[in-house]
Amino acid sequence: MSDKTMSARDVVARLESGMTIGIGGWGSRRKPMALVRALLRSEITALTVVSYGGPDVGMLAAAGRIRKLVAPFATLDSVPLEPNFRAAREAGALELMEVDEAMFMWGLRAAANRLPFLPVRAGIGSDVMRVNPSLRTVTSPYEDESGHHETLVAMPALRLDAALVHVNRADRAGNGQYLGPDPYFDDLFCEAADTAYLSCERIVDTAELTKAAPPQSLLVKRLHVTGVVEAPGGAHFTSCAPDHDRDEVFQRLYASTPWPEFAERFLGDDERAYRSAVAAWHEEEA
Amino acid sequence: MSAGRVAATRAEYCVVACAEAWRDAGEILASPMGLIPSIGARLARRTFSPDLLLTDGEAMLIGPEGTPEGWLPYRDHLALVTGGRRHVMMGASQIDRFGNQNISCVGDWARPRRQLLGVRGAPVNTLNNPTSYWIPRHSARVFVEKVDMVCGVGYDRVAEHPGAGRFHRIPRVVSDLGVFDFGTPDRSMRIASLHPGVTLDRVLEATGFALAVPDEVPRTREPTAEELRLIREVIDRRNNRAREVAD
C-alpha cells in the first residue's frame, strides 16, 4: 500500500483555479476547515464549489474564490444564516445553482455511479426549476396503476475534479473512519470526484482502525483517496464528534466579524498560526 | 399547580395546535422544526399518538425518556422522506394562499434583497410526505399574496403536476393567532380555528391575502389538564415556549 500522507499545502498545490471542488461535512459539522484555510492562503480562485454549505462556503465566498456555488443551503446551524454567504448573494458576487437537499445527494450518487442523471421527484412544481433553467425532466417509460407516466426531475451528475473531506481517523493509505453519529455524505463526495483529499484528526496504523470501533465506521475506502493529511482540530470551528464539539463562541466571533478583519487576525501563514491565534483569543475571552 | 389550574397561555394553545398535526398519524417519523412544534410533537407522542418516532435533532431516534431506539443519519432521513412515512412541520419566511412556502430569499432570486437559508429540503418534503408549517409571528410580511421563491410547493403549483404530486398534502398551518388549512374547493387557505383571545379582524389584518372564513369560526381547543401538566412539568419545564410566543 502506498503512503499517501501529505500536508495541506501539498493538497492545495495539486488544485487549480477553475476546478469544481466538493466539500464534505454538513452546515457547521465536520467540515474540512484546515484544507479550506489552506485554499484561502493560496491564489486559487474561480472555483465551482459543491457543498451542503457552512462556513466553508462563507469563507471562500468572502475571499472571492467562488465563481459558482452548487448548494441547497448555507448555514452555521446554531447561527441559522451564514453571514458571508448572505453578503455574497446580496452583492451578486457568485453564480448559484440552488437545488434541494435530496436533489443534491442524487447528483452526487449519479456522479459516483457514472450515470448522466438520476430521477428524483423533488423539485417538481418548485422554483428550483425556474432558477435553474438547465434542469430537465424525464418521463418514466413505465406506466403506473392509473396508466400515467410520471415525470420526474433528471438530476444531473455532480461530477467533481476534487473532493475535500475531514474524518476522525485514517491510515496512511487513505482508509477513512468516522466516529461520530453521522457519516454525512463524505464517502459520496470522494466517489464522485476524480481526486479526493482526506484530512483527519489522527493518522493511525490500519490495524488500529477496527480495534476500538466497528467495521461499519470505515466510511472512505483508499481506492477513492489521493492524499491523506493529519490535521488535529482540522474541522475547527465546526463540530467533529466525538473528538471535539463545535467551538460556539468562536463561531459567533466569526459570524460577527467583518471578513478582512477575521482573516487578518486568524488565517495566518499556516495551520499552526491559526491555532495559536485561536488559542490567544480564547485566553483573552476567558 | 394541581389545585387551582392556571389558564392556558397563548404559547400553550400553539403547542396543542401543533401537536394536533400528528393526531392519528400512526407509526411515522414526526419532524418538528423549531421550538413550539418540537414541544407539540413530544406532547402528541406522550398522549394521543404514542407510536410516533422522534429524533434527537441529529442522527438518533430516541424514546420519550431519551433512550436511543434507532439510527437516522441524514442520508437515511432523506430516504425516509421519499418513502413517505413522515410528517414534517417546517418554518416559513413567506407563505401564500395556496401554501407555497419560501425560506430561500426575499426579493429577486438573481440578486436577493435578503438572502435567507436556501431551499433546504422543502421541495423534497412537500412532494413526498405531509408538510405542515409553524409561523410564530403572524403578519402580512409572512402571509403574502405571492412568495418570492417557491421552496415548499403549494396546491396551485402541484395541480399542474398530477403524477408527481400524488403524495402532496399540507395538513395545517399553525401561527401564534390560529390554525389554518386548505379545505376549500379551490384549495386556498382558510381559517380552521382562532386561538382564544384572537379576533377575526386581527387575523384578517395580519394576512396579506384574502383568507377563506367559515360561517362559524371555531376556537382552538383547550388543552386538557394532563396536557398542561406534561407541557409545564415534563416537556418544557423552563418555559422556553413563552420566549417564542408571548401572551
Asked whether the beta carbons of residue B58 and residue A73 sit closer than 8 angstroms, the reply is no
Confirm or reject contact between A150 and chain B (CB < 8 A). Answer: yes
To the nearest whole Å, the CA of B98 is away from the closest chain A CA by: 13
DSSP letter, residue A42 = S
The SS3 of residue B179 is strand
> What angle in degrees, to the nearest 10, is found between the helix axes of A33-41 and A271-285?
110
> Residue A84's closest chain B neighbor by CA?
B115
Q: Using H for helix, E for strand and C for coil, what is the string for A144-171?
A: CCCCCCCEEEEEECCCEEEEEEEEEEEC
Query: Is beta strand A20-23 parallel, antiparallel or unpaired with respect to A160-170?
Result: parallel
The β-bridge partners of B198 are: none
Tell me the per-residue pLDDT of A65-117, one tens digit each, with 9 for 90 and over: 999 999 999 999 999 999 999 999 999 999 999 999 999 999 999 999 999 99
Q: Which of B74, B82, B108, B187 to mutate to test the interface with A (most CBs of A within 10 A)?
A: B74
Q: In the CATH scheme, what is the code of domain B10-241?
A: 3.40.1080.10
> Residue A26's closest chain B neighbor by CA?
B74
Tell me the per-residue pLDDT of B183-233, one tens digit each, with 9 for 90 and over: 999 999 999 999 999 999 999 999 999 999 999 999 999 999 999 999 999
Confirm or reject contact between A141 and chain B (CB < 8 A). Answer: no
Asked whether the beta carbons of residue A102 and residue B81 sit closer than 8 angstroms, the reply is yes
Q: What is the pTM of this model?
A: 0.97
Asked whether the beta carbons of residue A124 and residue B153 sit closer than 8 angstroms, the reply is yes
**Residue ranges covered by each domain of chain B:** 10-241
Q: Does domain A8-99+158-246 have CATH number 3.40.1080.10?
A: yes
> Residue A146's closest chain B neighbor by CA?
B163
Interface size between A and B, measured as CB pairs under 8 A: 139
**Residue ranges covered by each domain of chain A:** 8-99+158-246, 123-153
ipTM: 0.96
Angstrom distance (rounded) from CA B170 to CA A122:
16
pLDDT tens, residue order, chain B (247 aa): 444 568 999 999 999 999 999 999 999 999 999 999 999 999 999 999 999 999 999 999 999 999 999 999 999 999 999 999 999 999 999 999 999 999 999 999 999 999 999 999 999 999 999 999 999 999 999 999 999 999 999 999 999 998 899 999 999 999 999 999 999 999 999 999 999 999 999 999 999 999 999 999 999 999 999 999 999 999 999 999 999 998 8
φ/ψ (deg, to 5) at B14? -65, -45
φ/ψ (deg, to 5) at A115? -100, 150
